[in-house]
A and B are shown apart, each in its own frame.
Chain A
C-alpha cells in the first residue's frame, strides 16, 4: 500500500519510538493516523500494518474491533460527535443529540447520502465543564446550543 509522505514519516517515527522488538506498540497509533487519511480501516490496511509491525493480521484485526474510534466503515467527511454522558446530559446534551438526528435525518454512526456528515452519540469526551460538548473530527465545540449546532451543521454541509 502507498501512503502520503507525511503518513510515511509518521509511521517511520512511530516504529522507532518503542524498545527494540516492541514495534507492535505502534499498531494503534498507525491504525488511527492511517484511518484519518484513508477514511476507514480496510483489510488491506490491516495486513499492511501487521506486516510493518511484525504481527499477524488477526492481531491487528482484534485491536480494530476493540477501540471505539477505529472504524471499518467510512464515516462522513465531517464526523459530528455529540456527548450525552452525565455532565453533558445535565446541560442539554441529549436534546442536542436528538435535535441533530432529526435535522440530518440520520442516526448513530450513520452518514448523509453524500458522505459529507456523519453523527455519533459519544461517551465522555473530556469537556465536562463546558457542556454540552460536540467534537467535529478532532475539533472541540463547547457549550453548544441547538441554534449553534444548526449553524455548525449548515456550514459543514456547504464545505466542498
Chain B
C-alpha cells in the first residue's frame, strides 16, 4: 500500500508500479515488463551485465555509495567455491523506511535484481536478510518467491535459460549492527552480529566463507530498470558520477512526510519546500540530516544551493547515506537531538571495539548530564574530543556513525550547549514539544 501521496516532482523508476492494483503480484509484474530484464541478461555474458551496471553509474543505496558494477567485478570469476547473493534488508538506520516499501509494493523487482546479480557473478543461491521487526515483509517476500518458483522464475533451468537459482528469506532478530555488511554475514551464519576485519572483503570471503555480492534492497531493485532501459538511460537521470534516482524518506518536522523517488542531484530546498510542503507549523528549518542519523548534521544555511547526491553532500562535509532525511525546526533542542542519537548508538554498539563500546556509553552519559542541566563548560570540548577519538578506530563504521553527528552538532550548535550550562533549564523544553499531528 501507499503511505503517502506521491509528488509530481518524483521520477518514478523503481517505484513505478507502486499504486497499481495488486502491485506485488506476479501478474502485475509480468504485465509491466517484469522479468524482461532477466531474459535480456540471460542472453548477455556476465562481463556484459557488469559493464552495463558500470555504465549506469549505480552506487550502493545502503549508505556507503560504493559503485555497484565495480563491487560485482571483485567477485573472483574462477573461484571453485559456490558464490552467494545476499540482500541487505536490515533497514535500520534511523530516518530510513524505503526498502520496506520496495519489498511491500514490488517484491518481484527485488527478486529479478537478485537473479541478474546471480547471473553476473555465476551465483546460484541468494539470501534476503530482513530485519526481524519486518515480519509482514518476510511473508510478502516468501509469497512472491513461491509464486516465482511456481512460474519458473526461480529454481532449476529458469525460463529454459539453463540458469539455476535458489532464493531464501532470513529473519534478523533486532540489531542495528547487522545492517553492517560483515556483521550481517556473521548473523546470517547464526552468530552474534560482530563485524569482521577487512580485507578480505565479502566479494572474496563472504557468506559461509564464499565469494558474495552483498547490496542493499534499493540497489538490487535498480538493476532490472538498468538492464531493461540501458545503463546510459539510468545514468542520465542522475549526476555525472552517480546515476539514477534515490528513494528519499522525508521525516521529522515537515508538512508532507513520506518516501519520494527523486533524481540524484535534486535540490535540497525544492525537496523540503515543494516535495515535503515546507517545515511543519510554518516554522523555520534549523537542522537537516541528509541520510540517516549517522550523517553529520547540516544547518539551514548549509542547505543553500545543496543537492541530494553523493559528491555534493561530501563537499558539504556530510553524506547522502541511506536517504533518511530528518528535518528539525527552530524549536528543536540540539542537545536533546544529540542525546537521543547517542542513546541509540550506545544501545546498538555491539561491544567488539573498545573505542565504540566505551565512547558511545561515555558520550551518552555526558549528553544526558548536559541535558539534565548539570553540564560543565569543559564537557563541551570533552564531548567533541571523545567523539573525534572514535573516528576510524573501529572494525566497522558504527563508531564513526556515532561520532560524526555528535561532532557536527557540537561544532555547529555550540551555543546551545552553553545555553544549558549552570543548571539552566532546557530553553526548548516547552517549545520543543509539538502538539501531536
Contact = CB atoms under 8 A, between A and B. Distances in A.
A85 B172 CA distance: 20
Contact of B187 (A18, A28, A125, A129): A28
Contacts of A142: 3
Interface string B313-351: 000000000001011100010001100110010011010
B282 interface: no
Contact of B191 (A17, A18, A63): A63
Interface of B: 3-4, 82, 91-97, 99-100, 125, 131-136, 168, 170-176, 187-193, 208, 249-253, 257-259, 289, 293, 324, 326-328, 332, 336-337, 340-341, 344, 347-348, 350, 433-437
A95 B433 contact: yes
Contacts of A135: 133
A87 B95 contact: yes
B326 A70 contact: no
Given A63-B190, A95-B436, A123-B94, A68 B252 contact: no
A33 B171 CA distance: 9
A121 B149 CA distance: 40
B436 A129 contact: no
B252 A91 contact: yes
Given A67-B174, A124-B94, A130-B257, A146 B191 contact: no
22 contacts: A24-B191, A25-B189, A28-B171, A63-B190, A66-B193, A68-B173, A69-B133, A70-B173, A86-B341, A86-B344, A87-B95, A89-B337, A90-B332, A91-B434, A91-B436, A92-B435, A95-B433, A123-B92, A128-B257, A129-B257, A139-B136, A145-B436
B175 A67 contact: yes
Interface string A54-95: 010001001100111110000000000000111101111001
A125 B436 contact: no
B94 A86 contact: yes
Closest 4 A/B residue pairs (Cβ): A69-B174, A67-B173, A27-B190, A68-B174
B173 A138 contact: no
Contacts of A126: 91-92, 96-97, 99-100, 131, 133-134
Contact of A91 (B133, B188, B191, B437): B437
A147 B168 CA distance: 41
Contacts of A32: 132, 171, 173
B326 A86 contact: yes
B252 to A, nearest CB: 4
A117 interface: no
Interface of A: 17-19, 22, 24-29, 31-33, 53, 55, 59, 62-63, 66-70, 84-87, 89-92, 95-96, 123-131, 135, 138-140, 142-143, 145-146
Contacts of B174: 67-70
Contacts of A138: 133, 135-136
Q: Which of B97, B190, B337 has the most CB of A within 10 A?
A: B190
A125 B100 CA distance: 11
Given A123-B344, A138-B136, A128 B173 contact: no
Contact of B189 (A24, A85, A90): A24
A29 B128 CA distance: 13
A54 to B, nearest CB: 10
Nearest to A90: B252
Contact of B92 (A25, A95, A124): A124
Contacts of A86: 94-95, 252, 289, 293, 326, 337, 340-341, 344
B249 A128 contact: yes
Nearest to A96: B436
Contacts of A139: 136
